[in-house]
Structure 1
Amino acid sequence: MFDDLPPDLDRLHTLRVWHVMWLQRIDAKIAALTKRQAEEECGRRNRPPQPEWIVELGIGDRRPPLQVHAGDCYIAGKRRRPVDRDEARRLLAAGLTSCGHCRPDSALGITELSSHPAALTAAAQPPVRVVHDRRGSRGQGASRPIDPWTESHVVRSASRS
C-alpha cells in the first residue's frame, strides 16, 4: 500500500492543524463569495426599471434640458432625468435637439421637427471654413473665410525664409 503520510504522531497532528487552518480560510472565502452573489442578485431584482426616454440636463442653477435620448443610450451624460413618451415628444416638438446616435425622433415617429424655412436653408448650405494666413503684417496672421463653392480646397501657406 502506498502511504505518503509521516509515520510519527507529532507530524500527523501538525499536518491536521495546517489543513484545518486552510479549510477555515477556504470556508471563509466561500461564505464571503456566497454573500456577495446574494447581494448582487438582490440588487438586480430591486433595480428600478430603465426609463424609456431620458433628457440630458445642462449645467447651472436651472439646468436646462439639452438633448432627448432613448433610455438605453450610452452617449447621454450623467446629468439626466427620465421622461415619459409624451414629454419627450413635446420637448422635441418644442425644438430640443435629439441624440444623433439613438435617434429618439425617429423612434417617436417625429420626422419633420423644423417648420422654420430659415433653419432649413441654413442646414442646406455648406459650412464656411476659416483659414489662417501667415502672410499678415508684422508676422501676425490674418483670418479670412473661404467659400467652399468658389475657392480651391487646397490652401498654400507662405514659405519661410
Structure 2
Amino acid sequence: MRPAQCKNLERNVFDDLPPDLERLLTLRVWHAMWLARIDNKIAELQRREAEREHGRHVRPARPEWIVQLGIGTGRPPVQVHAGDCYAAGNRRRAIHRDEARRLLASGLPACPHCQPDIDLRILE
C-alpha cells in the first residue's frame, strides 16, 4: 500500500466520528466515564478475589475428630464423629484422637454414618 492510500484508509476508519470538536469532547468524556466504571468494577472484583484467597489461607484446618454436644447444662457429649462427617450437627467441638478413643471406650456412641469407631479400631 502506498502512503497516500494509508492516509485515506486512516480517514475512512475515523469517518464515523463527529466532525466537530464539541461532540468529540462529549464522546471523550462519556468514554472516560465508562472506563472509570470498568476500572472500579475490576478493582472491586480483584479485592473480592484477594479476600477469598486470604480466607482460604487463614481458614483453620478441619479437625480429624469431633464430638457432638448435647443441649442443657454442661452440654454433655452425645456422639463421636470423624471431622468431615455431614451428620455431626451444629453443637460440636474438635477433639484429639486419644480423646475420641477414650470417649468411645467409655461407651459414648459412634456416629453410624462416618463410623469413627472402625477408623479408631475401637471394638465393642
State TM-score, norm by structure 2: 0.85
Name the one with the larger strand percent.
1
> What are the ranges of 5 or more consecutive residues in structure 1 without an aligned counterpart?
114-161
Q: Find the partner of 1:76 among 88, 99, 103.
A: 88
Q: Find the partner of 1:56 among 68, 72, 83.
A: 68
1:46 aligns with 2:52: no
Name the one with the larger helix percent.
2
Report 1 or 2 for greater relative contact order, CA contacts < 8 Å, sequence distance ≥ 6. Answer: 2
Q: Find the partner of 1:18 among 30, 34, 44.
A: 30
Q: Find the partner of 2:39 among 9, 23, 27.
A: 27
Find the counterpart in structure 1 of residue 5 from structure 2: none
Q: How does 1:2-151 map to 2 (within 5 A)?
A: 2=13, 3-110=15-122, 112-113=123-124
In structure 1, distance between residues paired with 2:35 and 2:86: 45
Find the counterpart in structure 1 of residue 3 from structure 2: none
2:61 alignment partner, SS class = coil
Aligned length, in residue pairs: 112
Q: CA RMSD in A?
A: 1.1
State TM-score, norm by structure 1: 0.66
> What are the ranges of 5 or more consecutive residues in structure 2 without an aligned counterpart?
1-11
1:98 alignment partner, SS class = coil
Seq. identity, %? 68
